[in-house]
Amino acid sequence: MKRRLIIGLALLFLVASVFPVFSASQAEKGDDTIRMGICPPADSEFYQLIKSGIEQGIKDSGMENVELLWQTPQSHQAVEDQQRIVEAWITSQLDAIAVTTVGDLYAMDAIFEQATKAGIDMYFLNMAEPQLEGVVDYDNFISSVGYNNYQAAKILGEWVVDNLGNSGKAAVLLGTPGVHANHRLEGFLEALKDTDWEIVSTQEADWVRDKGQSVAETIMQANRDLDLIYGQNDEMALGAYQAVADRGLTDSVKVIGLDGVHAAVKSVLSGELTATMNVAPKLMGYQLATDILRHLEGESVPKIHDIDVYVTDAGRAAEDIKVF
């Protein structure tokens, strides 16, 4: 009897080692579930708007077998953390993965190559061709959905000249070092180069509101005659506006941002922020979901899918707020 029990247990172990064991949730999903992983660099309002657009795109597709996985690193600076998330998804054999990275694009390209060889559809999100060209292998991703950061910042700079005049003193709140911050500075400077605007300070504020506020305060202490603060994203701009308001300088120091999130558009509508470059994050997410699902259905999608951008100022804030 004891010998039979040992043989039975041995056979049970053999079966378990040969055939994979699935959880109840895996069995319920079925083999036709499409698993889509999205890994932005932060879980900010901007990326939550993108997520909302993705969810709407999935809903409008009419496909009920789509599972959305959403995971972010601990911070914009946690580049290795983001890479580990993507590598884990590759091991899990997701159907499609989309990434926004503010870190080492060369390292991410190597991970994209690994995923592509594993048969996973890879996408860049909130990235544009000037950021990718000459850095990543275009064979390693299906499509890049985003906008041209350089061009968006240039349009915002041109808006400054057209609406605030041909001269003044400005400060720039930079995001963490990387392609996004570089292009958002270069485009803005290009728009101002033939004017009498002077950039008196450029300081990092890490894309976050509280640091935007503290850095803006430091800049204003050193520059009593400041006319303008440009936050490279809306979070830093909103922080900067609070610093300006705390000093009672809202009539003399204008603040502009870049993203087009609800808080910023609402602030413009309320007469606080002067303007924000609106890069339509919900539309970006919607387009990404549409591209992913269409490609999985065998349709072709553009390699570079640019989103139209525009400035939200007092003249159009009432219309733009309706998006939310």
pLDDT digits (tens, 9 = 90+) for 149-182: 999 999 999 999 999 999 999 999 999 888 889 9
pLDDT at 11 over 60: no
Let me know if domain 150-278 sits in CATH 3.40.50.2300: yes
Per the DSSP assignment, residues forming a β-bridge with 196 are 167
Condensed to tens digits (0 to 9), the pLDDT of residues 106-141 reads: 889 999 999 999 999 999 999 877 778 888 999 999
The per-residue pLDDT for range 71-83, each reduced to its tens digit, is 999 876 677 899 9
Q: In whole angstroms, what separates CA 50 from the centre of its chain?
A: 8
User: With contact defined as beta carbons under 8 Å apart, do 311 and 278 qualify?
Assistant: yes
Domains 31-147+281-307 and 150-278 share a fold: yes
Select the CATH number that applies to the domain covering 31-147+281-307 from these four: 3.40.50.920, 1.20.1290.10, 3.40.50.2300, 1.20.1580.10: 3.40.50.2300
C-alpha 244/C-alpha 237 separation (Å) is 10
| Predicted confidence (pLDDT) per residue in 55-68, tens digit | 999 999 999 999 99
Span of 15-29, 40-54, 195-209 with lowest mean pLDDT: 15-29
Average per-residue pLDDT in the chain?
89
User: Is pLDDT at 22 greater than 80 in this prediction?
Assistant: no
Q: Which residue has the tokens 């609106």?
A: 278
Continuous H helices in 62-104: 79-91
Is the pLDDT at 9 greater than 70? The verdict is: no
Confidence of residue 4 (pLDDT cuts 50, 70, 90): very low
Give the integer Cα–Cα distance in Å for 94 and 70: 12
Asked whether residue 18 carries a pLDDT value surpassing 70, the answer given is: no
Query: In the 8-state DSSP scheme, what is residue 199?
Result: E
A 10 A CB-CB count for 116 gives: 17
- Contact of 97 with 118, CB cutoff 8 Å: no
First to last CA, the chain: 71
pLDDT of residue 187: 97
H/E element, 111 = helix 105-117
Helix/strand/coil for 135: coil
- Whether 31 has a pLDDT exceeding 80, the answer reads no
Residue predicted with more confidence, 269 or 75? 269
Q: What is the pLDDT of residue 137?
A: 94
- The structure's pTM equals 0.82
Domain boundaries, the chain: 31-147+281-307, 150-278
Strand partners, 312: 276
Rounded CA-CA distance 236/279 in Å is: 16
Give the residue, 42 or 142, on which the prediction is more confident: 142
Gap between the Cα atoms of 252 and 180, Å rounded? 29
